[in-house]
Amino acid sequence: MNKLGQHFMVGAMLAFIAFFVAVIFIEPLKTEADAARVSLNCSGDNLTTGVSLTCIVTDVYLFVFTFTLLGVGASLIGLRRTGFLGGG
């Protein structure tokens, strides 16, 4: 296997690691988000602006976390392939 193929394989392995980390952490993060929504009473009628904003951030952070890790994994494949991360 040539140098470019080796770099692609290393990048692919790092991307899979980032994917597996995302999959492992999804369930505990979802549990914590549900607990936070219950403790903040996000489904209530009388919400202040701060509590409302906190509820929105709590809803969005799992999505952001998952796609950030997937983006990091895809970036590692691309950067290894171009040789930016130690490739020749």
pLDDT in tens, 45-62: 888 999 999 999 988 988
Q: How far apart are the first and last CA of the chain?
A: 14
For 22, residues 6+ apart whose C-beta sits below 8 A from its C-beta are 65, 66, 69, 70
Give how far Cα 30 sits from Cα of 10, 35, 55, Å. Answer: 30, 9, 14
Asked whether the beta carbons of 14 and 73 are under 8 A apart, the reply is yes
* Local confidence band at 82 (pLDDT 50, 70, 90 cut-offs): low
**Could you tell me the maximum CA-CA distance found in the chain, to the nearest angstrom?**
63
Question: What count of residues does the chain have?
Answer: 88
Give pLDDT tens digits for 65-77: 888 888 887 777 7
* Local confidence band at 11 (pLDDT 50, 70, 90 cut-offs): confident
pLDDT at 79: 67
pLDDT at 1: 66
